Structure 1
Amino acid sequence: MSTLNNVITLSLLHPIDKTPVQSWTFEEEPIVRIGRSVNNDVVLYSAVVSRHHVELRQTEDGWEIHNTGTNGTFLAGERIESKPVQDGLVIRLARSGPNIQINVVQQTKGMSSIHALIAKQQARGRAVVKENA
């Protein structure tokens, strides 16, 4: 029986046009840490980002966001402490800090991340990569 693994991609969004300027993908990590300190998985150099600002934790039900910073983590302008992650969710680190988009791809254990991305795009009706049979 195959087990599922949730691949998570975090994208730092441009402050004005909200397009991704940098992305990080994690396939095996049960916890992904974001903050200003160099011992985080994603390091953001911003005065309003705490040294240890956010943890994303993989659970049996998917990923969850946990605020660990003093300046707060915001979703649609509301401060959150803990929240389940939905694909495409955008969080803001601190009231005036960077925006991070979170994308989750559920994949079967052993499936490569490119295959998971293709499956996700096909499910959304916009596959861009074709494989030869």
Structure 2
Amino acid sequence: MPSTIEFPFPDDEALPSIPITLSYADFSVSANALLDTGSTVNLLPYDIGLQLGAIWEEQTVRLPLAGNLARVEARGLFVHVQIGNLEPVRPAFAWAKVSQVPLILGQTNFFREFDVCFQRSRHTMEITHF
């Protein structure tokens, strides 16, 4: 049975983001994540990965980034994500070795786990997990 949660869509000038809780090992971090349908991957800033207790040297899967981040080193990291009262999921993130980037939920694999409906005229976003 699908579960849906609704969030307010931000003003015209702000980008759509949602509050999430990330968990890894024995640590949790609450943060706002940008919903980016144009991003091919989920992106985790370096400082958030450290707050979660992840150790850079233990992550052996190297991931190439593109665009403005093409020169930034990234490694794969699976992190549990909780969105409101929806069932938690464990998507893959490109953990970037830079902290001055947003936490991004992208096509691989957030938008494969969830259906997202942007209803800008109603100022809402609906996120459904099946």
TM-score between both structures, scaled by the size of structure 1? 0.31
Q: Considering fraction of residues, name the structure with more strand.
A: 1
Rg comparison, structure with higher value: 1
Higher helix share: 2
What TM-score do you get using the length of structure 2 for normalisation? 0.31
